[in-house]
Copies of this chain bind each other. A is one copy, B any other.
Amino acid sequence: MQNTLKKKWAEGLPVTNAWVSSPSAWNVEILASTGFDAITIDTQHGLSADLNTLIPMLQAMRASSSTSFVRLPANDPAYIMRMLDVGVEGLICPMLNNAEETEAFVRAAKYYPDGNRSIGPTRASVVFGENYMQTANQHTITFAMIETPDALKNMREMAQVEHLNGFYVGPWDLSASLGYKKLANFKDPSFMQILKEILAVAEENHLITGIHAGNPKNARLFADLGFKFLTMFNDSSALKTIANNTLDEFRNNTGNSKLRGY
């Protein structure tokens, strides 16, 4: 199994993550060729969640050095095991609220004696080799999302759950559920203070902290603060943005005056 991420983290370096909302193995193959350290398929809010979409997406990044992540739809043991069985290396679990839920998440991701993951690594043993079962517990990466008021309250206990590797901040749900009017506003000092506290708790417990930074500029901001797993790209919004920019650029710059407003 690849240790690219863990190596970078050991050197104190942050890693770059691309978020995939489109149900497209081709998008994954393109992104894997550009050199992101990690590629996360969003099975909660993205447009792919089923094996016949996900497996080709995983196959499409296997030749690259990108590590495969899935953001889970829920804290569902059957789904967690399935993702690992088909070869996913990292899991981001949404909507966790306390240590008990976090422990259930992590245990579902680990074989006996560390957890209760059922045996049957159908694709994983083809991808990572016949001895996959011996090394899986060490290599599978688990991130607990911090995105609810309860998680904020209980994060110290959550951080101590054995075999948890990190926190992943969901700034949209977090700011909404805390009652902020402007969501995921990284210019609001009170909100940034909360994010720094999450980071501090994580660091005390030797956990990695990740965040949905949204773009490279914000990713830089969070890298400088100490975040180590930086989501800075989303394939669906990138396409929308660049398509809109293309039309704008054409319309605004043409010499033909009739073209302007249309």
Contacts and interface: CB of A to CB of B under 8 A. Distances in A.
Interface of A: 11-14, 16, 18, 21-27, 29-31, 33-36, 42, 44-53, 55-56, 59-60, 62-63, 73-74, 76-79, 81-82, 85-86, 94-95, 111-113, 116, 118-123, 126-127, 147, 170, 172-173, 176-177, 179, 183, 215-217, 219-220, 223-224, 230, 232-233, 235-236, 238-244, 246-247, 249-250, 253-256, 258-259, 262
A253 B126 CA distance: 27
Nearest to A176: B112
Nearest 10 A-B pairs (CB), nearest first? A45-B120, A216-B250, A74-B78, A216-B249, A63-B63, A62-B63, A73-B78, A56-B56, A50-B50, A119-B172
A112 to B, nearest CB: 5
Given A74-B77, A112-B177, A256-B223, A31 B243 contact: yes
Nearest to A84: B45
B33 A126 contact: yes
B22 A26 contact: yes
A256 to B, nearest CB: 6
Contact of A45 (B29, B36, B85): B85
Given A42-B120, A250-B16, A240 B30 contact: yes
A111 B85 CA distance: 33
17 contacts: A26-B47, A31-B239, A33-B126, A35-B247, A36-B247, A45-B120, A47-B55, A47-B123, A59-B62, A76-B78, A95-B118, A112-B179, A120-B172, A216-B250, A223-B256, A238-B239, A239-B239
A112 B173 CA distance: 9
Given A13-B259, A238-B239, A47 B56 contact: no
Given A52-B52, A59-B59, A255 B34 contact: no
A253 B25 contact: no
A230 B250 CA distance: 10
